[in-house]
């Protein structure tokens, strides 16, 4: 996902500030958290993320005259479009200030000059021993592996290009033909141009227009390359396949039949004439802001057309023409692209979609919509029994419906245990339900767990999710014929039916409000925090 200059400055400023404060947070995790904030890159979003990492912080608006009294280093927001900077030093006596910007670098100027572009927005932090990222070492390893990924890809590409160059120098360049070398150059340049256009079209399809914001002329012209063919491929992809096919055909050229190959490429190029005419018309009369990359690809096609049609090339009937090899080559390239395009598009577009969804999840408007709905949660029945987790005296309550036979239920249970270990502000009650009223195995599991005293049920459920086998857990309770527990399970089933929730999927109720399934249990504290800002 490509960030704007403003977002880069925010991420860089916070990252540098935490480094100066020796807070153990990886840049990867910090970026992930910031991009999920609905108001990022506002100062409030930076403060929220630092609060999530248990770092005491204070976003303030101060009088510029108080600049010498704030704890340094601190993050300041500039009004001149630069975004965020880290103030490293303030020398009031000499009227000097030193600050650092992620892209502009270090700067030293007078305080009066600095105050001309700063209106007092600042954030100070005071981390303690608890501040930082959980599982820092694991995240650090992940971050390093991600940084090594691109160098590995580039090294692999360099090796392949080197092999490609050696192959050409020993096998292809021995062909003494100016026409061959000219067509080969056009094919190589065409592959590069269409690869760039395909990359840009992925961002256009994904709705991430930050690339085209830098050069606005690309915005509409990318529509040309993203128009679908038969609802599947777009123009840039077809251009990429065309040039790759032509390039591979030349590299596999049989010198005895080179006239046949040229003639084939000639008539293949002829099929692009209508596209060239339409592309020129579309950019000249429709968008009226042509894209240089699109024009360059059209020029390449016209150049190839001139070279091939200027030469008297005909398919010689007396020579065997390798139709089968060409068809195999084309189908191999097309099949390979169809196979990888889904993963390529997903890898480039899903990231921004994920962060957009995360921002929506935690926007005030969406959270207010959730809590403004009238409660459909039925009252708790008298005979219902729970597995209690967390601080029973906490002000915030959570009701979680789990199926002990469900793998997803085991995941949600572990998340709930982690949540209770991280905060004492939430009290949770677990309602156990089977797959269905006829799920006798699940009913027996629930009766075994609820057969324990209240203060032992959590340990019993933990052991069950760990082993999923009562014999290994050490359970010896036999409650199949216990009428009291049978009535309890029946009330649980009746309650779930009234609440209209699926038995197989965990459901979370936050203060009588059923949360959408997009929320994880670990995100509950943030919802409690946002709920304070909702106007009843």
Residue 214: the pLDDT is 35
Q: How many domains does one find in the chain? A: 3
Paired tokens of 369: 């919509």
Q: Kindly state whether residues 321 and 377 are assigned to the same domain.
A: no
310-314: average pLDDT: 61
- The span from the CA of 187 to the CA of 243, in Å, is 5
Q: Of 314, 344, 374, which closes a domain?
A: 344
- Alpha-carbon span 448 to 81, nearest angstrom: 64
Mean pLDDT across the chain? 79
For residue 347, whether the previous peptide bond is cis, meaning omega lies within 30 degrees of 0, is: no
In this predicted structure, what is the pLDDT of residue 20? 92
Same domain, yes or no: 88 and 209: no
Q: Are 508 and 521 in contact (CB under 8 A)?
A: yes
Q: Tell me: pLDDT of 362 over 90.
A: no
Check whether residue 262 and residue 410 sit in a common domain.
Answer: no
Do 322 and 371 have their domain in common? no
3-state secondary structure of 429: strand
* Residue 160 counted as domain residue: no
DSSP 64: G
Q: Is 320 exposed, middle or buried (0-12, 13-18, 19+ CB in 10 A)?
A: exposed
pLDDT at 211 over 50: no
Q: Do 190 and 338 belong together in one domain? A: yes
For the record, the structure tokens of 227 come out as 């128009």
Residue 512 domain-assigned?
A: yes
- For residue 60, the cross-strand partners are 122
With cut-offs at 50, 70 and 90, classify the pLDDT of residue 18. Answer: very high
Give SS3 for 416: helix
Q: What's the rounded mean pLDDT across residues 377-385?
A: 85
Phi, psi of 317 (to 5 degrees): -70, -25
Report the pLDDT averaged over residues 233-261.
75
- Rounded to whole angstroms, what are the CA distances from 265 to 162, 258, 301, 305, 450? 26, 11, 11, 9, 76
- Closest residue by Cα to residue 227 from 296, 303, 283, 292: 283
What pLDDT score does 318 carry?
Answer: 47
What is the Cα 115 distance to its own chain's centre?
A: 37
Lowest mean pLDDT among 102-116, 267-281, 335-349: 335-349
| Phi, psi at 386, each rounded to 5° | -125, 165
Query: Which residues, including other chains, have CB under 8 Å from residue 322's CB and lie 6 or more apart?
Result: 254, 257, 260
In a domain, 37, yes or no: yes
Residue 154 lies in a domain: no
Strand, helix or coil for residue 347: helix
- Residue that the structure tokens 């009428």 belong to: 483
Q: Provide the CATH number for the domain around residue 199.
A: 1.20.1440.130
Residues 226, 332, single domain; the answer is yes
210 within domain boundaries: yes
127 CB-near residues (< 8 Å, 6+ apart): 18, 21, 23, 55, 56
Per-residue model confidence (pLDDT) at position 481: 57
pLDDT of residue 208: 42
410 and 312 part of one domain: no
The CATH number of whichever domain residue 95 belongs to comes to 3.90.70.10
pLDDT at 189 over 70: yes
Q: Is the dihedral of CA 205, 206, 211, 213 positive or negative?
A: positive
In sequence order, the 6+-apart residues with CB closer than 8 A to the CB of 40 are 7, 10, 34, 46, 359
pLDDT tens figures, 466-486: 775 555 555 544 445 567 888
Q: Which pLDDT value is given to residue 477?
A: 46
* For residue 313, pLDDT beyond 70: no
Query: How far is the C-alpha of 19 from the C-alpha of 75, rounded, in Å?
Result: 13
502 pLDDT exceeds 80?
no
Strands 426-432 vs 396-402: parallel, antiparallel or unpaired: parallel
Last residue of a domain, one of 96, 127, 158: 127
Strand, helix or coil for residue 536 = coil
Say whether both 520 and 397 belong to one domain.
yes
Stronger pLDDT, 323 or 180, i.e. the higher one: 180
Confidence of residue 380 (pLDDT cuts 50, 70, 90): confident
Q: What's the chain's length in residues?
A: 536
Cα dihedral 508, 510, 513, 517 sign? negative
- 242: helix, coil or strand? helix
- Considering the domain boundaries, does residue 384 fall inside one? yes
With beta carbons less than 8 A apart as the criterion, state whether 77 and 121 touch. yes
**Which residues is 388 bridged to in the sheet?**
429
Residues 334 and 395 in one domain: no
Task: Specify if 350 maps to a domain.
Answer: no
pLDDT band at 349 (very low <50, low <70, confident <90, very high): low
* Region at 135 (left for phi over 0; alpha for psi -120 to 50; beta for the rest): left
Question: What percent of the chain has a predicted confidence (pLDDT) above 90?
Answer: 13
Q: Is the pLDDT of residue 428 over 80?
A: yes
Range(s) of the domain holding residue 38: 5-127
**Cα 117 to the chain's mean position, in Å?**
34
For residues 185 and 273, membership in a common domain is answered with: yes
What pLDDT, in 10s, does the model give residues 19-76?
A: 999 999 998 889 888 888 888 888 888 998 998 888 999 998 898 888 888 899 999 9
The C-alpha atoms of residue 464 and residue 12 are separated, in whole angstroms, by 45
Burial class (CB in 10 A: 0-12, 13-18, 19+), 112: exposed
State how far the Cα of 102 lies from the Cα of 9, in Å rounded to an integer.
5
Residue 264 lies in a domain: yes
Is residue 82 within 8 Å of residue 97, measured between CB atoms?
no
Here the tokens at position 52 are 């999530």
Among 6-15, 154-163, 336-345, the range scoring the smallest mean pLDDT is 336-345
Residue ending a domain, choose from 316, 344, 372:
344
What is the predicted pLDDT for the residue at 10?
92
**Cβ atoms within 10 Å, residue 32:** 16
Does residue 210 carry a pLDDT above 50? Answer: no
β partners of residue 510: 398, 513
Alpha-carbon distance of 391 to 195, in angstroms, equals: 56
- Judge whether 257 and 250 are in contact, CB under 8 Å: no
Contact 255, 335 (CB under 8 A): no
CATH number at residue 388: 3.40.30.10
Question: Do 312 and 422 fall within a single domain?
Answer: no
Q: What is the pLDDT of residue 412?
A: 86
Shared domain check, 477 and 379 = yes
- In 373-492, at which residue ranges do the beta strands (DSSP E only) sit? 387-390, 396-402, 426-432
């Amino acid at each position: 996902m490509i960030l704007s200059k403003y977002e880069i400055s925010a991420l860089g400023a916070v990252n540098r500030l935490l480094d100066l404060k020796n807070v153990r947070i990886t840049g990867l995790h910090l970026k992930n958290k910031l991009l999920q904030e609905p108001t990022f890159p506002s100062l409030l979003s930076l403060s929220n993320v630092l609060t999530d990492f248990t770092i005491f912080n204070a976003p303030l608006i101060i009088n510029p005259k108080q600049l010498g009294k704030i704890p340094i280093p601190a993050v300041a927001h500039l009004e001149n479009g630069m975004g965020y900077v880290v103030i490293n030093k303030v020398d009031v006596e000499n009227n000097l200030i030193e600050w650092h910007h992620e892209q502009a670098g270090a700067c030293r100027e007078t305080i009066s000059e600095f105050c001309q572009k700063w209106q007092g927005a600042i954030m100070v932090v005071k981390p303690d021993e608890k501040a930082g990222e959980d599982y820092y070492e694991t995240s650090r390893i992940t971050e390093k592996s991600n940084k090594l990924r691109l160098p590995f890809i580039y090294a692999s590409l360099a090796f392949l290009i080197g092999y490609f160059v050696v192959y050409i120098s020993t096998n292809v360049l021995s062909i003494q033909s100016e026409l061959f070398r000219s067509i080969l150059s056009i094919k190589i340049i065409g592959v590069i141009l269409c690869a760039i256009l395909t990359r840009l079209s992925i961002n256009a399809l994904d709705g991430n227009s930050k690339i085209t914001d830098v050069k606005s002329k690309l915005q509409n012209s990318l529509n040309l390359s993203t128009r679908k063919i038969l609802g599947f491929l777009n123009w840039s992809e077809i251009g990429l396949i065309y040039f790759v096919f032509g390039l591979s055909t030349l590299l596999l050229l049989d010198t005895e039949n080179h006239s046949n190959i040229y003639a084939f490429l000639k008539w293949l190029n002829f099929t692009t004439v209508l596209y060239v005419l339409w592309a020129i018309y579309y950019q000249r009369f429709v968008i009226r802001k042509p894209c240089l990359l699109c024009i360059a690809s059209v020029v390449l096609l016209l150049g190839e057309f001139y070279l091939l049609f200027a030469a008297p090339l005909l398919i010689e009937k007396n020579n065997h023409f390798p139709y089968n090899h060409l068809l195999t080559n084309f189908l191999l390239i097309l099949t390979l692209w169809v196979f990888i395009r889904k993963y390529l598009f997903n890898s480039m577009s899903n990231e921004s979609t994920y962060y957009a969804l995360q921002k929506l999840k935690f926007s005030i408007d969406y959270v207010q919509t959730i809590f403004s709905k009238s409660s459909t949660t039925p009252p708790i029945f008298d005979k219902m029994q729970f597995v209690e987790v967390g601080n029973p005296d906490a002000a915030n309550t959570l009701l979680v419906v789990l199926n002990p036979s469900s793998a997803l239920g085991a995941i949600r249970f572990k998340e709930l245990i982690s949540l209770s270990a991280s905060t004492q502000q939430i009290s949770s009650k677990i309602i156990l339900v089977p797959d269905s009223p006829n799920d006798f195995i699940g009913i027996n599991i629930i009766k075994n767990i609820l057969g324990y005293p209240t203060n032992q049920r959590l340990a019993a459920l933990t052991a069950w999710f760990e082993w999923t086998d009562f014999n290994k857990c050490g359970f010896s309770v036999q409650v199949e014929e216990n009428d009291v527990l049978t009535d309890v399970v029946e009330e649980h089933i009746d309650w779930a039916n009234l609440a209209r929730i699926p038995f197989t999927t965990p459901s979370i109720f936050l203060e009588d409000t059923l949360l959408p399934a997009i929320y994880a249990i670990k995100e509950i504290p943030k919802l409690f925090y946002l709920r304070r800002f909702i106007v009843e």
